[in-house]
Amino acid sequence: MEIITSPQAMLRHASQHRENKTRIALVPTMGALHEGHCSLITIAKEHADHIILSLFVNPLQFGANEDFETYPQTHTTDIAQAKTHGVDVIFMPNTHDLYPENHQTTVTVNTIENVLCGKSRPNHFSGVATIVAKLFQLTRPHVAVFGEKDYQQLVLIKRMVLDLHFPIEIKSGAIIRHDDGLAQSSRNTYLSTQERTIAPCIYQGLSAAQHQHQQGETDPHRLCTTVQQHLDKHPSIAIEYIEIRDAETLETVTALTKPAVLAVAIVLGKTRLIDNIVLK
């Protein structure tokens, strides 16, 4: 496995593989790899011969009071895990190489970036779209794989790929959960022992709503109320949103007539957690 840090070297490497007709897959990450990331590598391997994993904590997608400075960095174990899972190249650029001094260009995906998480994280999705566009340019993948836990991010990337004509197939990986239902996330390490015992109630709420939907409930308000009742059992949880939106466009829905995503964001102690379930 090769580690590349320079954007120019990454582009040269990818172009060479393109010339040799190798099918390239990109798995973009910010490191602190867990089983969720590993499942994305497995999906990438099903669709390509050459797997590039990017590992970069992107400052542009963090707000002023967010956890950029404290985001978990576990490079040694990340590199070992990537190798074990058959990654061919880790792309680990420096911030000043990816964002040259006085950089001016960003990518915004209107509408999608202003709903759900975008309301409390105003520049987050523009930061995501910008870095992902850069990674696409430098790694020249045929396929890129993203996790469904960041559902809004997935919808946003698909829209960007369509709008900017990136010749890239976007694949997604299902949420990987711990045995108690909590979605795996690099940020789970921020939870105290007590908070960690409370956190699975998000999935319990989502599952209860899914069950209710399977029994025939199609009213978004009643389904969201079910989730809220589960979360309200824990006074330490501050609910940011519980919403049901169209699974493809993230537009609001008044009744569930086609697939919709039930998405939740909460703050537990100092940790912001998101989760979702697609109601089909």
Q: For residue 65, count other CB atoms closer than 10 A to its CB.
A: 6
CB of 147 to ligand PAF, least distance (A): 7
Count interface residues toward ligand PAF (CB under 6 A). 10
Residue 8 CB burial class (10 angstroms; 0-12, 13-18, ≥19): exposed
Task: Tell me the C-alpha distance between 89 and 83, whole Å.
Answer: 9
Interface residue with ligand PAF, options 14, 26, 30, 242 (CB under 6 A):
30
Nearer to ligand PAF, 128 or 201 (CB): 128
Task: Tell me the C-alpha distance between 44 and 144, whole Å.
Answer: 7
Nearer to ligand PAF, 133 or 182 (CB): 133
**Binding to ligand PAF, residues 52-71 (CB under 6 A):** 58, 61
Interface residue with ligand PAF, options 28, 36, 141, 200 (CB under 6 A):
28
CB of 228 to ligand PAF, least distance (A): 27
Task: Tell me the C-alpha distance between 167 and 182, whole Å.
Answer: 35
CB of 28 to ligand PAF, least distance (A): 4
Does 29 sit near ligand PAF (CB under 6 A)? yes
Does 240 sit near ligand PAF (CB under 6 A)? no
Assess whether 37 carries a catalytic annotation.
yes
**Binding to ligand PAF, residues 152-211 (CB under 6 A):** 153
Question: Active site residue: 13, 17, 34, 37, which one?
Answer: 37
**Binding to ligand PAF, residues 76-135 (CB under 6 A):** 128, 131-132
Residue 177 CB burial class (10 angstroms; 0-12, 13-18, ≥19): middle
Radius of gyration of the chain (CA): 19
* Cα dihedral 166/24/87/173 (nearest 10): 50
Place of tokens 């430098």: 138
* Footprint of ligand PAF (CB under 6 A): 28-30, 58, 61, 128, 131-132, 150, 153
- Catalytically active residues are 37
